[in-house]
Amino acid sequence: MKNNKKASPWKSLRVGLIALLCMVVLAYGFQITRVDLQELRSESRQASLIRVIRALAKPDILEHDQVEEVVNLPIYVPCPEDGSIPSGPEQDKSEPYLAVSPTCASPGDVVQVEGFNFAPYTEGPLRFVPGSDPDNIVTLGRDNAETDADGHFIVDMELPNRPSDDVQYIRATLRRNVGAPHLTQTAHDTWDKIVETVFMALLATVFGTMLAIPLSFIAARNLMAPVRSPLASISLSVLGWPIGIVVGYMAVRWVGGLSASIGSTIWINVASVVISPVLIAFGLSWALPQVETTTSPSIQLRLARIGVLILAVLVGFYGLFQLASLAINSGGMLEETLGSFGFVGYFLFQLGDIVAIITPALGALAVGGTLSSVLGRIGQRSSEKMPVSGLKILNIILATVTGATVLGLLGQLVEWMYQIGQPMYTLWIPLSVGGASGFLLALFTKAKDALPIGMVIYYITRTFLNALRSVEALVMAIVFVIAVGIGPFAGVLALGLHTIVSLAKLYSEQVESIMTGPLEAVAATGANRLQTIVYAVVPQIIPPYISYTMYRWDINVRMSTIIGFVGGGGIGFLLQQNINLLNYRGASAQMLAIAVVVATMDYISSVLRERTI
């Protein structure tokens, strides 16, 4: 014990060695990252650095209209061979004019150029115009002229190496600002793009949040851990998904065809959109009575209710299709008639298009989910009521079929992606392996045991979220640019997907940290799982959800400013273009816009966060 207090030589040696090791690592880091200040000292670097910084300091936002006074003065370079000294031209002394001495010189000589009668306090380039054409737009040289209060200037100018027998010219272009300053083209472009950027972030955040919320519930351990079902119920509900998706997709497609054949004139659309919700409301209120009677309803009544529910859902999808058609029709019309508010029509049109595209998917998922939960309940019931031996056989059959189906579908997915073309590997082996593992699972679990399916779903979801979250939005954008083309839509999709996966994780951690008291209180009233979530979980997670959404909104605004670098739209595209064109004043305007927007959004979201919590 005492030895520990004394500094043993071994211990000091160890500390020394660790310090040495750290130094070596750092030294290697210098080598790898090529730390080199020599480069900074080189004059050409410094000159361009200064130039860029000065350009950045003058963002290209405001400019004046300018008027120019352009005067050409002939000059001979070199002097004519006959030795004659050309006289200056006749010049109108009431107008701005130039004088040069001498009037001819050899290339490389310095001549003195004087200007008279220009507007006072103006400046502009003083250039050598090669060739004998005074209107030639090619000019040489770097000199600048600046007039004094009398509109007079004197500049020493070095003649370039452009000898010619013909007359050449010296041109002074003096510019002065007139009128009030106004926004440059760059500023207008920047404004357009920054608006695009903000809306990219907005859309990505809104859609990302909407999809992240349901995901976050199945990625929360405390909600999923108690979810246990007997094998029969699990198998049936797993089988219900693919069957339901196919049936639902076909049913909704059929409804879509029906809706299209009924007609797409606006009046039919309006009538359908108004009537179908009424029908649905009637159907629902009959089929779903507000209070459950204590006695179970008769079979006939139940079947009738189910029938009415299915009809109501079909009517609902019909209504959705008609709504989409209405939005597309009226949107197209409005876009033409509204003029500068045409974007409302565009919005309606696109919204209708989105609804029309999403509806079949929605229907497929809804029917899949419903069928899965109905079959799951049937499985649950039969597990409770059937004798163990019969149940065992049922379990074995169902689990085998389910395992084969799941792995078979996965195999087909692999086949589709990698095009292996060998059904042996992508169909038969997965089918038999899946069937066998289902069979074994059913064989070795007790027939009535409730299996922790919730945790299985939890782990699958978590893995999926973590995997996708590790892919940066910038990388996703590259994929989406290929899928939907260069532009802000690709950026929205990339940011949206990244928002979904990262928010789902953050949200689910909040769900995991809620107070359990209300949960058990609501469960004790006889509420089912979904009711418990809505009444005990949701109210508790609203504040953290809002705060995380704001946080994500901040991130999305920042990300959307650079996602244009890979073609994802927004201001990044403009910024990158200007940097590549060495137009640093333009780039500076865009950087300024980004800074302003990010700071403003930061401020707004912090204010909102304070308000809501």
Assess 381 for contact with another protein (CB under 8 A): yes
Which x/- pattern over 522-541 shows residues binding another protein (rule: CB under 8 A)? Answer: xxxxxxx-xx--xxx--xx-
Crossing angle of helices 571-580 and 584-612, in 10° steps, is: 150
Which CB sits closer to another protein, 417 or 524? 524
Assess 520 for contact with another protein (CB under 8 A): yes
Contact 500, 213 (CB under 8 A): no
**Angle of CA points 582, 586, 589, to nearest 5°:** 140
Upper half-sphere CA count for residue 145 (Cβ side, 13 Å): 35
Q: Is 35 exposed, middle or buried (0-12, 13-18, 19+ CB in 10 A)?
A: exposed
Cα 257–chain centre separation? 34
Show contacts with another protein in window 292-321 (CB under 8 A): 292, 294
- Name the residue among 473, 483, 498 with its Cα closest to residue 562: 473
Q: Is 17 exposed, middle or buried (0-12, 13-18, 19+ CB in 10 A)?
A: exposed
Assess 542 for contact with another protein (CB under 8 A): yes
User: Which of 62, 278, 288, 467 touches another protein (CB under 8 A)?
Assistant: 288
Instruction: For the CB of residue 401, give the shortest distance to another protein in the complex, in Å.
Output: 24
The residue range among 285-293, 313-321, 480-488, 597-605 that interacts with another protein, by the rule CB under 8 A, is 285-293
Q: Is 228 exposed, middle or buried (0-12, 13-18, 19+ CB in 10 A)?
A: middle
Assess 549 for contact with another protein (CB under 8 A): no
Query: Residue 135 has which token pair?
Result: 């209107």
User: What CA–CA distance (Å, rounded) separates 260 from 575?
Assistant: 45
The residue range among 211-219, 265-273, 283-291, 347-355 that interacts with another protein, by the rule CB under 8 A, is 283-291
Show contacts with another protein in window 155-214 (CB under 8 A): none
Which CB sits closer to another protein, 117 or 380? 380
Which CB sits closer to another protein, 536 or 550? 536
Instruction: For the CB of residue 525, give the shortest distance to another protein in the complex, in Å.
Output: 5
Q: Which residues contact 163 (CB under 8 A, 6 or more apart)?
A: 77, 78, 106, 107
Instruction: For the CB of residue 382, give the shortest distance to another protein in the complex, in Å.
Output: 11
Query: Residue 291 has which token pair?
Result: 């209070």
The residue range among 340-348, 349-357, 517-525, 557-565 that interacts with another protein, by the rule CB under 8 A, is 517-525
Assess 610 for contact with another protein (CB under 8 A): no
Assess 290 for contact with another protein (CB under 8 A): yes
Instruction: For the CB of residue 517, give the shortest distance to another protein in the complex, in Å.
Output: 4
Query: Residue 459 has which token pair?
Result: 């782990």
CA torsion 492→493→494→500, rounded to 10°? 100
Residue numbers of the site for another protein (CB under 8 A)?
A: 284, 288-292, 294, 380-381, 384, 517-518, 520-528, 530-531, 534-536, 539-540, 542-543
